[in-house]
Amino acid sequence: MSKSELSRRAKGDRFPGWPRRWPIHLLLCLACMLVGIPLLYAMLVSTQSNAEVIAFQITPGSSLGQNIWVAMVSRNLGRYMLNSTIQAAIVTVGKTILSLLAGLAFVYFRFPGKWLVFSFVLVTLMMPTELLTISLFRIVAGGFQWGDSLYALTVPFLASATGAFLFRQHFANLPAELSEAAQLDGAGPLIFLWRILLPLSWNAIGALAVIQFVYVWNMYLWPVLIIRSDRLQVVQMGLSSIQSAGDTGTAYGPLMAGAILASLPPLLVFILLQKQFMSGFQISREK
């Protein structure tokens, strides 16, 4: 046995010419296939009629245009997507601003009971949203009389324990000299936030924006409870209505076409903020 062969076997390279980590690459390819096959099948079904779906046709069908028309025009999915976009944009921007202010207060302000308030924020962070749904419904619909309005879709979700915790941790890891230098220059808290903290926080802002936009876009239970009129329904309710668009049962083609179209706005937001999103998680890992 040659010396090079012994060296190759000592390194575990039993298949010369193959990547050294080929088992990991093979496992990753299989994982990608498992994740991607349902999506590819959904795209295939979106082009087919019900008869082609039931016949389990594995080639693209001829009903793509009709399925898109049923979803976007007949079932008004375009209007629902616009409503969800407005809702998600308002909640994302409002929640980011309030979370920045909360993080600023928790790190740079001194007030009685600060740790008690922060502990309360951590407790709410561990509580599922569904647990608060009934009390939230009574406050919003009964107390404020905001039922069936854009206020009901956005205002209850402007405050975020996750965002406050994220920015509190981010600001706490910044050098304290920044705050001292800003105070010596006569900068107030909001100027310090705008000119110093904000430029250092774009990665955290991008990560929070992506998470919150996707969360609001996929919201289903709350809109079902609080919205009655069709003009304010959101995209998840629109997809639910498409399910019964067929004359003889579930309309698979329009449903899959609508689901794929409805996934494009969150995907676009992720692509636009991908760099900030990944860098934000990298910062969290380094901390």
pLDDT tens per residue across span 39-60: 898 889 888 888 888 888 888 8
Taking 50 as the threshold, does the pLDDT of residue 286 lie above it?
no
Asked if residues 253 and 61 have their Cβ atoms less than 8 Å apart, the reply is yes
Asked if residues 98 and 163 have their Cβ atoms less than 8 Å apart, the reply is yes
Q: What percent of the chain has pLDDT over 90?
A: 16
Specify the DSSP class assigned to residue 11.
T
Average pLDDT score over residue span 170-199: 85
Rg (CA), the chain: 25
Question: pLDDT band at residue 203, thresholds of 50, 70 and 90?
Answer: confident
Average pLDDT score, the chain: 83
Q: Could you give the CA distance from residue 227 to residue 229 in angstroms, rounded to a whole number?
A: 6
Alpha helices for the chain (secondary structure H):
3-10, 22-45, 50-54, 64-69, 77-108, 114-125, 133-137, 150-154, 161-172, 177-184, 189-192, 202-217, 221-226, 235-242, 252-262, 264-272, 274-286
244 or 160: which carries more pLDDT confidence? 160
Average pLDDT score over residue span 178-206: 86
Orientation angle between helical segments 264-272 and 252-262, nearest 10 degrees: 20
> Ranked by mean pLDDT, which of 84-88, 137-141, 193-197, 271-275 comes out on top?
84-88
Average pLDDT score over residue span 116-127: 84
Average pLDDT score over residue span 115-131: 82
Per-residue pLDDT of 7-51, as tens digits, reads: 555 555 555 666 677 788 889 889 988 888 888 988 898 888 888
The structure tokens listed for 159 are 């405050």
Taking 50 as the threshold, does the pLDDT of residue 287 lie above it?
no
Question: pLDDT band at residue 248, thresholds of 50, 70 and 90?
Answer: low
In the prediction, which pLDDT does 81 show? Answer: 92
At residue 158, the 3 state secondary structure works out as coil
Q: Could you give the CA distance from residue 155 to residue 228 in angstroms, rounded to a whole number?
A: 17
Average pLDDT score over residue span 270-278: 84
In the prediction, which pLDDT does 16 show? Answer: 60
In the prediction, which pLDDT does 17 show? Answer: 60
Taking 80 as the threshold, does the pLDDT of residue 128 lie above it?
no
In the prediction, which pLDDT does 14 show? Answer: 57
In the prediction, which pLDDT does 12 show? Answer: 53
In the prediction, which pLDDT does 84 show? Answer: 93
- Within 8 A by CB and 6+ apart from 230, the residues are 76
Of 190, 170, 192, 167, nearest to 179 by C-alpha is 192
Other Cβ atoms within 10 Å of 182 Cβ, number: 19
In the prediction, which pLDDT does 35 show? Answer: 87
Question: pLDDT band at residue 181, thresholds of 50, 70 and 90?
Answer: confident
Q: What is the pTM of this model?
A: 0.81
Specify the DSSP class assigned to residue 149.
S
- Within 8 A by CB and 6+ apart from 198, the residues are 100
In the prediction, which pLDDT does 83 show? Answer: 92
Asked if residues 269 and 209 have their Cβ atoms less than 8 Å apart, the reply is yes
